[in-house]
Amino acid sequence: MFGAQLQSSDVVATSYAAATVATFSTSALSMLGLSWTSERWRAPLALSAVALLASAVAYLDASQVWMAVQKMTAA
């Protein structure tokens, strides 16, 4: 995913990589937590896990754009 293109001096790519890993792992932990939470909190926890997964995919896409062209396009 990040391979040899990720330079230690590239702060933007490093921050995208950290945000991607953090949101993927938080989403996985939230999905795992569905098994031990009470019934009352399962729907909000599932929705937050899906939102975290969507943001992780967005960070992954942004990091790939950054590593390809070294600039971000306008949204």
pLDDT tens digits, 53-66: 999 999 999 888 88
Tell me the torsion sign for CA atoms 29, 32, 37, 43. Answer: positive
Amino acid at 27: S
pLDDT tens digits, 11-39: 888 888 899 999 999 999 999 999 999 99
Pair 29, 72: CB distance under 8 Å: no
Distance CA 63, CA 75 (A): 14
- Residue 4 is predicted with a pLDDT of 45
**What's the predicted TM-score (pTM) here?**
0.78
Distance CA 50, CA 36 (A): 18
